[in-house]
């Protein structure tokens, strides 16, 4: 059986390969995104871009640069290149990070489907190559809904979640401004090493990308004091990550504490709703089902008929490919 961590990374690499089949580029970074916070939950990064990854993280939160993840994810245009847009002269990222390292253009695309962003594809061309053309941008735009759907569906693919004693404990680690580990409790260190193993990071001084993303959000995000994201481990377990800026005495270096715990069902349900395209009313019915309410009680709670309740349950069964109301409750109670 394939290692689930390898499967996650292979999916990101597969997305890179699908994009390479429709346009030419020299390096890429395919990042999975928490759709609620737009923070990284991991990435497949070609080595030349890995060398400047920390600088790119800082740029994402430190400055108001062009084509940032949030802008592409929320805006009407989900893909753009620095050269074609004419924004390269205004981009700190281009002038001070990419160009000095020999990159002539960057094409970024938010992998969006039904209004939700599940990933970011960043493609690069070296000096000596022509910049990305409008046809390249359109080729990526045509691919993005299908690629976003693959990332979305992978998040909730059924897995046999492994029992893990640390999952019931709360862990924390403390990082410096340079993502250096300052301290961590036993559970926090367990999760740090687990993330490193899943991302195939062999140097234990290198922080996994979800931790770096949270740290960058706080350290370079101006007055932001807290940040959060949720990620699913390749084993199937959902983890909630919360980061806090630590108050320091005068002259001391800033630090960030990342709190790690098992995500609760209520935390996960909004993501499940997005994955299975549940409507707001279906989510209301599901919430009542999870509370153990009968059809009549649900109808009374939501001021709808029992027939309408049955219709919503039937629709959810079709969307989740489950066979019964009991299975529906079990699935979302044990997600």
Paired tokens of 10: 């292979």
In 3D space, the residue among 179, 181, 180, 176 whose CA is nearest the CA of residue 252 turns out to be 176
Higher pLDDT, 252 or 287: 287
Do residues 259 and 313 share a domain?
A: no
Say whether pLDDT at 30 is over 90.
Answer: yes
For 66, the enclosing helix (H) or strand (E) is: none
Do residues 127 and 13 share a domain?
A: yes
Positive or negative, the Cα torsion across 144, 319, 270, 256? Answer: negative
Do residues 137 and 15 share a domain?
A: yes
Answer yes or no: is 22 within a domain: yes
Spell out the residues 6+ positions from residue 154 whose beta carbon is closer than 8 angstroms to its own: 8, 11
pLDDT band of 82, cuts 50, 70, 90:
very high
What domain range includes position 327?
276-333
Do residues 220 and 254 share a domain?
A: yes
CATH code at position 105 = 3.30.450.40
Higher pLDDT, 330 or 99: 99
CATH code at position 177 = 3.30.450.20
Answer yes or no: is 21 within a domain: yes
8 Å CB contact between 239 and 230: yes
Average pLDDT, stretch 59-88? Answer: 90
* Residue 18 CB coordination number (10 Å): 15
**pLDDT tens digits for 259-318?**
999 888 888 888 778 778 889 999 999 999 999 999 999 999 999 999 999 999 999 999
Higher pLDDT, 25 or 246: 25
Say whether pLDDT at 3 is over 80.
Answer: no
In 3D space, the residue among 125, 93, 89, 95 whose CA is nearest the CA of residue 107 turns out to be 125
Answer yes or no: is 315 within a domain: yes
Do residues 169 and 151 share a domain?
A: no
8 Å CB contact between 81 and 137: yes
Average pLDDT, stretch 148-162? Answer: 72
Say whether pLDDT at 191 is over 80.
Answer: yes
Answer yes or no: is 222 within a domain: yes
- Name the packing angle between helices 265-275 and 325-333 (round to 10°): 120
Answer yes or no: is 160 within a domain: no
Say whether pLDDT at 146 is over 90.
Answer: yes
What is the total residue count of the chain? 335
Domain boundary among 131, 155, 179: 155
Do residues 37 and 134 share a domain?
A: yes
Do residues 77 and 128 share a domain?
A: yes
Please give, one letter per residue, the 3-state secondary structure of the chain.
CCCHHHHHHHHHHHHHHHHHCCCCCCEEEEEEECCCCCCEEEEEECHHHHCCHHHHHHHHHHCCCCCCHHHHHHCCCCEEEHHHHCCHHHCHHHHHHHHHHCEEEEEEEEEEECCEEEEEEEEEEECCCCCCCHHHHHHHHHHHHHHHHHHHHHHCCCCCCCCCHHHHCCEEEEEECCCCEEEECHHHHHHHHHHHHHCCCCCCCCCCHHHHHHHHHHHCCCCCCEEEEEEECCCCCEEEEEEEEECCCCCCCCEEEEEEEECCHHHHHHHHHHHCCCCHHHHHHHHHHHCCCCHHHHHHHHCCCHHHHHHHHHHHHHHHCCCCHHHHHHHHHCC
Average pLDDT, stretch 207-235? Answer: 84
> What does the pLDDT read at residue 165?
59
Domain boundary among 103, 123, 155: 155
φ, ψ (nearest 5 deg) of residue 232: -105, 125
Say whether pLDDT at 190 is over 50.
Answer: yes
77-81, 204-208, 270-274, 329-333, range with greatest mean pLDDT:
77-81
Answer yes or no: is 270 within a domain: no
Using CA atoms, how far apart are residues 320 and 335, in angstroms rounded to an integer?
Answer: 12
pLDDT band of 225, cuts 50, 70, 90:
confident
Do residues 74 and 177 share a domain?
A: no
CATH code at position 280 = 1.10.10.10
Whose structure tokens read 């981009």?
91
Answer yes or no: is 198 within a domain: yes
Using CA atoms, how far apart are residues 228 and 34, in angstroms rounded to an integer?
Answer: 9
**pLDDT tens digits for 283-294?**
999 999 999 999
Domain boundary among 94, 124, 155: 155
Answer yes or no: is 271 within a domain: no
Higher pLDDT, 238 or 103: 103
Higher pLDDT, 311 or 251: 311
How many helices and strands in the chain, by DSSP H and E? 14, 10
Q: What is the gyration radius of the CA atoms in the chain, in angstroms?
A: 21
Paired tokens of 145: 């809904």
Do residues 44 and 116 share a domain?
A: yes
> What does the pLDDT read at residue 273?
80
Do residues 8 and 149 share a domain?
A: yes
Do residues 10 and 104 share a domain?
A: yes
Do residues 16 and 151 share a domain?
A: yes
Number of domain units in the chain? 3
Higher pLDDT, 166 or 207: 207
pLDDT band of 250, cuts 50, 70, 90:
low
Whose structure tokens read 């609760």?
264
Average pLDDT, stretch 212-231? Answer: 84
Say whether pLDDT at 320 is over 50.
Answer: yes
pLDDT band of 29, cuts 50, 70, 90:
very high
């Amino acid at each position: 059986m394939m290692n689930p961590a390898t499967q996650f990374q292979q999916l990101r690499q597969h997305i890179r390969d699908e994009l390479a089949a429709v346009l030419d580029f020299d390096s890429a970074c395919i990042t999975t995104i928490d759709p609620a916070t737009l923070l990284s939950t991991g990435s497949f990064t070609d080595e030349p871009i890995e060398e400047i990854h920390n600088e790119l993280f800082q740029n994402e939160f430190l400055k108001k640069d062009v084509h940032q993840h949030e802008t592409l994810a929320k805006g009407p245009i989900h893909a753009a290149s620095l050269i074609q847009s004419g924004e390269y002269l205004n981009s700190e990222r281009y002038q001070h990070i990419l160009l000095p390292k020999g990159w002539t253009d960057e094409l970024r695309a938010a992998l969006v489907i039904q209004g939700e962003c599940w990933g970011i594809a960043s493609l690069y061309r070296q000096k000596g190559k022509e910049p990305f053309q409008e046809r390249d941008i359109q080729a990526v735009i045509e691919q993005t809904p299908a690629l976003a759907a693959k990332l979305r569906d992978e998040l909730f693919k059924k897995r046999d979640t492994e029992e893990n004693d640390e999952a019931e404990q709360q862990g924390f680690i403390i990082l410096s401004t340079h993502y250096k580990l300052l301290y961590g409790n036993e559970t926090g260190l367990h999760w740090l090493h687990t993330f490193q193993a899943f991302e195939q990071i062999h140097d234990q001084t290198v922080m996994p990308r979800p931790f770096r993303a949270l740290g960058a959000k706080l350290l370079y995000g101006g007055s932001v004091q807290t940040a959060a994201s949720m990620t699913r481990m390749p084993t199937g377990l959902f983890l909630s990550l919360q980061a806090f800026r630590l108050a320091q005495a005068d002259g001391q270096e800033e630090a960030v504490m990342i709190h790690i715990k098992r995500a609760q069902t209520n935390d996960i349900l909004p993501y499940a709703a997005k994955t299975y395209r549940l409507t707001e009313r279906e989510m209301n019915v599901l919430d009542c089902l999870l509370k153990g309410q009968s059809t009549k009680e649900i109808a009374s709670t939501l001021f709808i008929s029992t027939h309408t309740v049955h219709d919503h349950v039937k629709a959810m069964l079709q969307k989740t490919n489950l066979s019964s109301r009991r299975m529906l409750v079990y699935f979302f109670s044990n997600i």
